[in-house]
Each structure stands twice: as C-alpha cells, then as structure tokens.
Amino acid sequence: MSRGIVFFDYDGTLVDESRRIYRPTAATMSAVEELRKNGYLAVLATGRAKCYIPDTGIEWDGMITSNGACAEINGKRVYNRLVSDELVKELVEKADSIGYKYVLENQEICYTNGLDNKHFIETLKFFDIRSEHFHPVSEAEKLTANKMFLTYESPEVFERLEAEFKGRFVFGQHRHNLSCDVDVEGNSKGLGIAEIAAQAEVDMKDTYAFGDSINDYEMLRNVAHGIAMGEHREELLEVCEFVTETVDNDGVSKGLAKLGLIGGNI
C-alpha cells in the first residue's frame, strides 16, 4: 500500500525550455527518487503524448498524457479517450484557411501537416521535441487524436481559432511560444487523478501535484495538495496550497521537502 501519490507536470515544472533546462535537474531527480523510497508513487502528468515524452531519468509509477486523455498506472492503461471523428475532421479542414499547423496526438504515433513549416520545426526545437516522432498526415489511415497541438505565426490566428471553435474546443496557450494545446470540453489532467488513485488504492487526501500552466488548473484543484511553480499562470493561485521556487531553483525538491514528503537536505 502506497502512502500517497504525487503528480508532476513536465514542461515548466520538471523542465524549463525558456531557460534551456531540457531535463530534470540532479536535485529534482534525487528528490523524486527519495520520494519513491519513502513509499509514495510518482506520476508524470503532461500535455505531451506518450510517444514524444523524452527520457527524464526518472522511473515513473504512472503517466497521465495528452492533458488527461490517457492514463496508466504500473504499466496498465486505465483509460484512453479520443476526440470525436467529426471534430478532428473539422480542425484539419480549417487549418489552411485559418493558418495553423496541427498535430493529431495519439499515444504511439502522431500525425502533422507541419513538417515543412519553419515555425512548426522551431517550436519543436524550443520544446526539445525531435521531429522524428511525427509523421505526415498523408500517412494516416484514419484521422484520430487523443488531443491536438497547434502552432501559428501570429496572435491573431489564435483569436480566430477561439472564435471558430468556441464551445467545442478548449485552447491552452503555451507561456513562451506561439503554440497551444487543443482539448475537447471536459478533458483535463484532473480526470485521471481519481482513477489512478482508485487503481492504486490511495485515499484522495494523500494526493499532491506540481504544475505551472493553465492545463494544470484542474489537476491542482482535484488533488488534496496543489503546488504552483515559481513561474506560473496567475489562475493557479486559486487552487494551490503554496508557491514553490522556479525550475532552475529546484522548486520541485524544495516543494517536496516543505510538504514533508522528503528530507530537507538534498
């Protein structure tokens, strides 16, 4: 029986691409290792699809991927939600007229119309994502997606996107880049938390989460103890217990120590 579960966002929490921190720091890795030795489960909760999560150097007990559309614990997938075929088809059809490049995220393979687009490739480089994880949309036998990821070259395109798909998609802008996640209404990282806790037989009062962005809002709200990173979206102050340090100041390790889940001397 585990003592609890800690959920960790990836981009902006374990790493910070804006500061060229592309993998968890040594202090973060040591802290998560100590956390697991102390009897807690460590679960990665990311907007990324599983196929393009890099090797973090951390042994994860579970994963919530594509902003909550898919989840697994101890190697067992507990759910896998797809966007409706109609909405995927409409987003693909509107791409050229509105002016965005899209990724149709599935856990094993992702399809895109952006492999020949400079801004799309630069966005992948910013997030330290290798383009080999993506395949031309022309290769897809069927257009399916757990979630979509879009890039665009001006804020005006994002405004057109929101107006076009209002009420059907939720757009989560990335803090340091002209790109966003696209989810159906109701999808969130928070959805997987209760399911994973139930599978692991952990009481919800023993759940914790670290995050920085708007796609972490429901996650921090749903756990018993939500912690916002030092650089965070202002909305997270509504649902977090406290704010820890930034990624480069080892906010995760300091936050775990403040919670009493690990020792203070790391």
Q: What is the pLDDT, as a whole number, of residue 264? A: 56
Locate all alpha helices (DSSP H) within the chain, ordered by sequence.
26-37, 85-98, 118-126, 155-164, 189-199, 217-222, 251-259
Q: Is 173 inside any structural domain?
A: yes
The per-residue pLDDT for range 22-35, each reduced to its tens digit, is 999 999 999 999 99
- Asked if residue 120 and residue 246 are part of one domain, the reply reads no
Q: Is 265 inside any structural domain?
A: no
- Asked if residue 19 and residue 70 are part of one domain, the reply reads yes
Q: Is 89 inside any structural domain?
A: no
In which domain, by residue range, is 172 found?
Answer: 94-183
The per-residue pLDDT for range 156-197, each reduced to its tens digit, is 999 999 999 988 998 988 878 899 999 988 889 998 898 899
- Asked if residue 9 and residue 43 are part of one domain, the reply reads yes
The pTM assigned to this predicted structure is 0.90
- Asked if residue 227 and residue 109 are part of one domain, the reply reads no
Domain containing residue 218: CATH number: 3.40.50.1000
Residues 6+ apart with CB under 8 A from 176: 17, 18, 126
- Asked if residue 73 and residue 198 are part of one domain, the reply reads yes
